[in-house]
Amino acid sequence: MEGSVIIIGSGLGGLECGYILARHGMKVTVLEQSNQTGGCLQTFVRGRALFDTGFHYVGGLGDGEPLNVLFRYFGLMDLPWRQLDPECFDEVVIGDRSFPFASGHGMFARRLSEHFPHEKDAIRKYTEFLKKVGDHIFDSFSPRSAEGFFSESLFSRPAYGFLTETVKDPLLRKVLSGTSLKMELSADSLPLYVFAQINDSFIRSSWRLCGGGSQITDTLAESIRRMGGEVRTDAEVTSVRVEGGRVAGVTVNGGEPLDADYVVSDIHPAALVALIGETKAVRKVYRHRMSSLENTYGMFTANIRLKPGTLKYVNRNIHMHGSDADLWNPRPGRTDSILVNWSVPYDGSDDAISLDILTPMWWSEVSKWAGLPFGHRGDDYVQFKKAKTEECLGLAEQRIPGLRDAVDRIYTSTPLSYMSYLKEPEGSAYGVRKDWRSPMTTVLSPRTPLPGLLMTGQSLNLHGILGVTMTSVFTCAEILGMEALASEILGTDRSFV
């Protein structure tokens, strides 16, 4: 296909769109405002330790599984993936009790039923429902499918309502919600489809990437260049240009005009509308809607470099919650839920080099320092982070004895870090908050009112690696057509449609 496209932002969604469109013969230019590509998939090195900015593990990467099908198309399956322990890829700890999440729907149900024999039927019903959601994940790629609106109907149902209707035991409900840091749990707003699709993908199989998530975006960027496209860093889009009621291109760094037939935005919708000048195509009501969207909470992360030989690598994640933690109504300022994630040792040994501890953090907890530059936020901000780190370590050490003595150095980040480096409004971890009560206004279309201007990324439909990858296909289908694109991606594997 002839034509040109400019992509604003080099996160996963932007680079995947660039890959698809370059593969179809379009002239692709990806513009990244910072000095490196990748968005939330950036990695950084501190001494002998390599840390991921926002990537930790993925689900559904086994043979024939949804993310595997998509990543084969993008040329990403040759990266050094390592499957997490199928017997227990996630350990959920509630108080002083531990529960294993096993890979595969049948094994997942059997292992949990050993702890909750009185809820065996409910666990089976819950697991079968998740599997059905995952089995139909590519229905949206096939307009003729009889189940074509399956996911849309589930966006209009509450996740919490489904869970309470299906499972009567409060402890089991908490356990099934225990991997909550994959999404923002909210009893009031979380749609059932988001909850079910994300949890299903990890139950199918779970994987880490040895060497960091930047390998994903580096591979995509190199593929775009190899197909004749351009990926530029230090190139901030300062305006979206409009001519004749249609997008005409962008202005870079305040003075460089670039023309294009299409512009695809991989930045937050509110940030995008701020770049568009006055035009009849984009009415005030649309601008207000995008600018007033609520965002999910952010994350506090303690990236911990370990002393050599002090802890062994653990091939699972640990999700820890205090016995009184309310997972569906989390409270700002409390540290009663954490995720502990180990980085795969790049040296091939079984000694852990580093690990991350994550806990939810709301914008209200850090907003008073928002106007201050990095490195100059004052001693009270330093002490705030130090206190939060201590709370995380205290909770983690209940399951990892000797953790404090194994610490070599700790590097921390807050929602302010995400806002500063990634320009994510309020440092949001999962983008725009989806709400089952108003799916038409919170589940966004790739289309905008301005012809030729499209959106992609985690704020549209689903967040996470699988969700963003699906959304990149929806975005490109607006240019290429879904039927031909779906046929190309799915190839002869028609098991999902």
Residues 289 and 172 in one domain: no
Quote the pLDDT of residue 146: 40
Quote the pLDDT of residue 1: 72
Is pLDDT of 148 > 60? no
Is pLDDT of 181 > 90? no
Residues 223 and 191 in one domain: no
Q: 102 in a domain, yes or no?
A: no
Q: What is the pLDDT of residues 184-204, one digit of tens each?
A: 999 999 999 999 999 999 999
Q: What is the pLDDT of residues 237-246, one digit of tens each?
A: 999 999 999 9
Q: 142 in a domain, yes or no?
A: yes
List the Cα angle 229/230/234 in 5-degree steps: 160
Quote the pLDDT of residue 481: 92
Q: 96 in a domain, yes or no?
A: no
Quote the pLDDT of residue 151: 60
Average model confidence (pLDDT) across the chain: 93
Q: Which of 202, 226, 259 is the endpoint of a domain?
A: 202
Residues 302 and 425 in one domain: yes
Q: 88 in a domain, yes or no?
A: no
Query: What average pLDDT does the segment 449-463 reach?
Result: 94
Q: Which of 414, 429, 444 is the endpoint of a domain?
A: 429
Is pLDDT of 154 > 80? yes
Q: What is the pLDDT of residues 387-423, one digit of tens each?
A: 999 999 999 999 999 999 999 999 999 999 888 877 7
Residues 308 and 352 in one domain: yes
Q: What is the pLDDT of residues 309-352, one digit of tens each?
A: 999 999 999 999 998 899 999 888 889 999 999 999 998 899 99
Highest mean pLDDT among 152-156, 338-342, 480-484: 338-342
Residues 111 and 164 in one domain: yes
Residues 191 and 118 in one domain: yes
Quote the pLDDT of residue 143: 56
Domain count, the chain: 3
**Confidence class of residue 469 from pLDDT cuts 50, 70 and 90?**
very high
Q: Which structural domain, as residue segments, surrounds residue 354?
A: 297-429
Q: What percent of the chain has pLDDT over 70?
A: 97
Residues 323 and 410 in one domain: yes
Q: 63 in a domain, yes or no?
A: yes
Residues 140 and 249 in one domain: no
Is pLDDT of 81 > 50? yes
Query: What average pLDDT does the segment 82-86 reach?
Result: 97
Quote the pLDDT of residue 374: 81
Q: 452 in a domain, yes or no?
A: yes
Residues 311 and 404 in one domain: yes
Is pLDDT of 149 > 70? no
Q: What percent of the chain has pLDDT over 90?
A: 82
Query: What average pLDDT does the segment 248-263 reach?
Result: 96
Is pLDDT of 115 > 80? yes
Is pLDDT of 147 > 90? no
Residues 336 and 361 in one domain: yes
Q: 136 in a domain, yes or no?
A: yes
Residues 36 and 112 in one domain: no
Quote the pLDDT of residue 150: 52
Residues 339 and 312 in one domain: yes
Please give the radius of gyration of the chain, using alpha carbons only, rounded to the nearest integer.
Answer: 22
Q: Which of 202, 230, 254 is the endpoint of a domain?
A: 202
Look up the CATH number of the domain holding residue 279.
Answer: 3.50.50.60
**Confidence class of residue 145 from pLDDT cuts 50, 70 and 90?**
very low
Q: 355 in a domain, yes or no?
A: yes
